[in-house]
Structure 1
């Protein structure tokens, strides 16, 4: 739009609504391209040469997560029953350091389901392990689904979920192979009992 100025010159100006609309469009494009609100999901089904009870023990032994799982810097079982465990975990990477509580339901020797309880980190967290006996090995169906409350953390994790999911799964496989040298039967009984 053109209007004369008090100094005798013609000045062109652009209405503010133009900038608002163009800024909104840029922001929407940015949001739809880089910011996602979708759940982060990883699933892998793999055959593992390991005994089922050893792998089951490895997944249930939350106290040892801090020694072998990526980004877990502290882990402790706080309550035990015959059907579930409660645990406190601390997750840390270059972006954040957060603690959260987990509820671990299990049905020996086949399924383990983990969910987050009260947490500032997750909207929700669900991890499922289904362990099936096969000839000469076991089949592990690993599934993780979560959404982080912080958008920056969420988008960072969304970009790396395939790599992170694979790291988590293979960390459990390596740890279960190390546990195969231990007397897991007595360890598992002590872990499941109150």
Structure 2
């Protein structure tokens, strides 16, 4: 704060010392100047601290935005990779299973066989750039295809049921024939002499 300015008093009826008045004016001006300089530096320090705080805040926001952008970019790349892998897996999984079977020389499990069949029957979906009408046509096409597959499944299940029945009939016939041959005593049973 600036101290209140008080003009120097000039004594009445005395000799006036001009040098003393000049010295006092200079001291007063110097004091005012020092006060103004101190106030200026204090204000400058506050502004400098505010500027540093603001710069730190801006830098934190920039880092956060860069981090969010990098994460979004990485997520988009991961999604694109997953989509590509899934589409490639669907297109090439059947070939992979055949190669794996040839390498290992083992029979496919039920799950592997299902995946192979699905990869053979799977049609690629290219719907990214289709309009609403084209999407409806594609949906109808897929619905018809599902009905066709369900019909084939029903036919295959009926055929499997019939084959199981025939196997049971044949097995019962073999069991009955073996009992007959065992009950006949000595003789040929299963291609061997007892």
TM bin, normalised by shorter chain, reads under 0.3
**TM-score, normalised via structure 1 length:** 0.25
Highest RCO, 1 vs 2 (Cα 8 Å, sep ≥ 6): 1
Q: Which has the larger share of strand?
A: 1
| TM-score, length basis structure 2 | 0.25
